[in-house]
Structure 1
């Protein structure tokens, strides 16, 4: 019976999928499978032939293999490896090369014979590549094929660098990279313009010959493409769908990567559900959006025809369900994000008391505050709350080099006009310009350039916060140490980061905190900064009474928005307030027109914010609620 239930639950899935609680648990599982193959081959006095991948996804797998080698004696002397791909052209010593990646994450830490390591050669002449690719295929074939091939998946659906349009029988070859793939790699190269346009990749046909194929994916960024790969039709537009044709494949996912699969996203379509408040709200809003009907116009037939008959029977009549969800949504709307004084707050998202709250808005980068919640920021100040803003990082890696030079040029001109000494400024400027003219992609800036770029972001953030109504003593620059590396790869979080946050929280003792909850930012900074806040609050909640009564609200907007069913507080903005929010964003001039790391959204940040705020308001309107110009949305974190 359990097997039948599982088959029904996964009936939309066209290949085997295993879902783990988190990436670490999944990575340990995959590493264990690889280790078992190696040991089995050792016992038979045979070579284990491994197909390996690069990128962030397999890092924890390689870390566990290294641990097994060092702590449990797992030997790699009988292992032969073939990597999926390499950028072209690419020197093996370059920081972005997959040779460097594999050495740093695996090969330099185990007892593998380097002669048994095979990675496509990014230094070949163009005319040499076809012969190299044929030889690469032949080596794999002569060894009896790959015992296991591990894969990641790109957001285009590529496996290896087999981009959309690749044939299912393709072999190892030179390919042109998709623009989205290059945008995703931009952070590693210091900008998309520095990302190679081509790569040498193992073909889909080569991958198919492996005795086992394991595709891994972590986090919500991959959820959309995973749904297409697992549940979609086989198509050259999503090369990973070809894996549906293999009898030897398994997808290993964490919960976030699996979140859009039918059994998790709309489970009422495949199984009986426990209809709690959260699932009911999600299902009713989904049904209204699917049918393009206001909530109060949904009928019993609508429920029955879309997998929700059980809900209608258990919680009905249907109209009562509709009224209940409509009222819940209506109660999320408030013009008083800090709570409405002297009002009944039993149906409001925030507490009425204290009437004037101490508030900290944490901003991971120096512009996330106004981009994501600028209207609410201004509203909180206007409603006389004691608002502080805390910029957690300097943001100094996201300033163009020519902007840094321009600001120093201004300083030189200013000093000259004021009759001030200029010798040291000229020397600084000449050193900066000389460095920038010879700067390699992703090379770490000199300390002086880092300082100038950080001051540019600081000045812009100060201007934005002042525009929102804050005095300078309520504007805090934390410069958390984890970030201050001068490069895109940041340091691990330490107690110093947490202690700086604890000190600020203890000084202000807020009743209300706002923090960035959109973890899709390509820098990875938002989730790090959010976790630092959680660590600090965990310490404070053990000893401080104020911390136990402090509420934490998550905002989004720079990279994505909350789904309607997730929203717990929606703050409407008038056309004038939306315009004022835009002016606050405009204070961040170094991020306007063209940001250094824009992600895969070509819109400027002010335009993203405007469009998303209007889309949130439109979503409420289409569900039958009041029509507003724009809305900022928040979800409360439950400690």
Structure 2
């Protein structure tokens, strides 16, 4: 396979999705897979092959390992190969990239705990071969320790393979912006964005350490082979800067451009901003599918500041899109795109009764549809599609809301204790007192006791009922699925299981919907949306032969982090100012998620603010393209499973 860098010396044949083009923009070899699961398995296979090769040579295999969510699936596959295929780690020596400071090894947030939980406890690596920076060091011992860490790596002959993730600041390990090209293992002060990203795991940014020990840039770049993992749309911008930008200390990962055996392994979301994916017509000849035409025309409007119908041949020619004019002139292209967008707009998300639906996004029949809105957390329904939800109820459809998880970890101890104390005032009980005592004496890294988790889940349930009643839905149409994968009491969740799929199948079979709405927002920083969407897809796959699903359409919405690109949107539901306000009030029903919610990612605004800005932004984009002006719009993409 041809690489983007003549320096790359790839040891395993990665097979990315689509055609991999060498472009003048890219400075680091990279491959893109349709999903991170497949990509992770391929990386694990490379590591396993290296271990076996070294075993055959009677040599030690020295691995540099990373933590965080990105490598988890790689470690799972290595554990599987150990248990099912006899892969031994007795000849493996590992050096981890980093550790928080201060940090006890027993703390569930420590990287020592992470590595043993995900890898070391499940393989046959000798304990003396494991090296993880020590987060318990006294200040006066740190310098000597860091020098010894680098020395020990050198004594083992250097790192044969270094696995990396990337932070949104462009850090590798904890080498934050400003890190020097020749830096060694050392203590570093963490960037605010890094601490914000870590905040969910620590249940708030105030609990995130401000310092860490990290391998340095020089230590990492001396590795014989480097593979960096990048998953999800929220990493797309920094990966574009890293792969296509200039080498700069402001984005430390760009130093990898000078490594002669480095590969970035990405999924489609992470690679979406690369020039060859975002604007391939600027790279070379394209296969002009209808989707790519739509994407290019929207991009052209944004870059020229013109509406669709005002674009000219010159605009197409001046912006690298002359190929499009070989078969169609600009007038026909413009009209086709204008009609596509116009036909996506509807005030009848369930279909307009007794109307010609030829150019409408939804069917006219049946006039009254059975609808399931799947909500990963107990507020995603109103945050992401509250206006559409209200419209479906108002227009007489049989709407059901199914909350896939309890959302209990997003309730603060302060709120939970407040409710328990109110319960004690109404009717004193041992159970309420136990909850109060459990919260009062809970240590920083302790998992909530089961009664506390149940109370937090009930708080979310009560708020959900308040919101659904506000939009006029009967309580009997509100379902709390409490999918088992979520109920661990920690940020780390279990894998999706047959039990989760069975619960999903049961509610779908019970309702027999004509419409399903599900969260397609894969930028969710703590991953629950991805698992919940997989649960929807898994249930539909097992049920697709059922006759009632032949007449079921699935619409995907996005949440608080990203919106669909305009060219992707297949249904867009406008909202009036009054409906925007009603949606806001429905979100306000979720009081435990207001004012400093723990899982807001890098955006300090509350969810209702983000939702309104996103909905206004979609309406403004439609208006800028020449469509009618609306106060706000909610967007959907159809998923075709049958």
- 1:268 is matched with 281
- Taking the TM superposition and a 5 Å limit, the aligned residue runs for 1:458-477 are 458-477=461-480
- Taking the TM superposition and a 5 Å limit, the aligned residue runs for 1:169-248 are 169-248=182-261
Distance 1:10 1:154 in 2: 25
Distance 1:143 1:210 in 2: 12
Return 174-183 or 253-262, whichever deviates more.
Answer: 253-262
SS at match of 2:485: coil
Matched length: 628
- 1:326 is matched with 338
Say whether the 8 Å CA contact 2:420–2:433 is kept in structure 1: no
Can you list the C-alpha shifts for 1:574-601, whole angstroms capped at 9, x where unaligned?
1111011111111111111121221221
- 1:607 is matched with 609
Distance 1:362 1:111 in 2: 42
**How many angstroms does 1:288 deviate by?**
0.7
Distance 2:308 2:564 in 1: 19
2:634 paired residue among 629, 632, 639: 632
How large is the Cα RMSD of the aligned pairs?
2.1
1:540 to 1:66, Cα distance in 2 relative to 1, 3 A? closer
SS at match of 2:521: coil
Return 330-339 or 357-366, whichever deviates more.
Answer: 357-366
SS at match of 2:633: strand
Return 567-576 or 244-253, whichever deviates more.
Answer: 244-253
1:410 paired residue among 388, 404, 422: 422
**How many angstroms does 1:204 deviate by?**
0.3
Structure 2 unaligned segments of length 5 or more: list them.
Answer: 6-18
2:530 paired residue among 513, 527, 530: 527
1:474 to 1:108, Cα distance in 2 relative to 1, 3 A? closer
Distance 1:593 1:289 in 2: 35
SS at match of 1:50: strand
Can you list the C-alpha shifts for 1:95-123, whole angstroms capped at 9, x where unaligned?
22222222222223333222222111111
Say whether the 8 Å CA contact 2:383–2:608 is kept in structure 1: yes
Distance 2:454 2:86 in 1: 47
SS at match of 2:410: coil
- 2:568 is matched with 566
Q: Is residue 392 of structure 1 aligned with residue 404 of structure 2?
A: yes
Q: Is residue 489 of structure 1 aligned with residue 492 of structure 2?
A: yes
Say whether the 8 Å CA contact 2:232–2:522 is kept in structure 1: no
Distance 1:69 1:372 in 2: 42
- 2:375 is matched with 363
Say whether the 8 Å CA contact 2:199–2:598 is kept in structure 1: no
TM-score, L = length of structure 1:
0.94
Distance 1:538 1:35 in 2: 32
Q: Is residue 50 of structure 1 aligned with residue 63 of structure 2?
A: yes
1:277 paired residue among 287, 290, 308: 290
- 1:552 is matched with 554
- 1:585 is matched with 587
SS at match of 2:486: coil
Q: Is residue 255 of structure 1 aligned with residue 268 of structure 2?
A: yes
Distance 2:21 2:371 in 1: 49
1:65 to 1:457, Cα distance in 2 relative to 1, 3 A? closer
Say whether the 8 Å CA contact 1:9–1:271 is kept in structure 2: no
Can you list the C-alpha shifts for 1:43-77, whole angstroms capped at 9, x where unaligned?
44332222121122222322333333344443333
Can you list the C-alpha shifts for 1:357-390, whole angstroms capped at 9, x where unaligned?
1112121111111111111111111111122222
Can you list the C-alpha shifts for 1:394-445, whole angstroms capped at 9, x where unaligned?
2111111121122222233334xxxxxx3x2xx3333222221221235222
SS at match of 1:397: helix
- Taking the TM superposition and a 5 Å limit, the aligned residue runs for 1:441-520 are 441-520=444-523
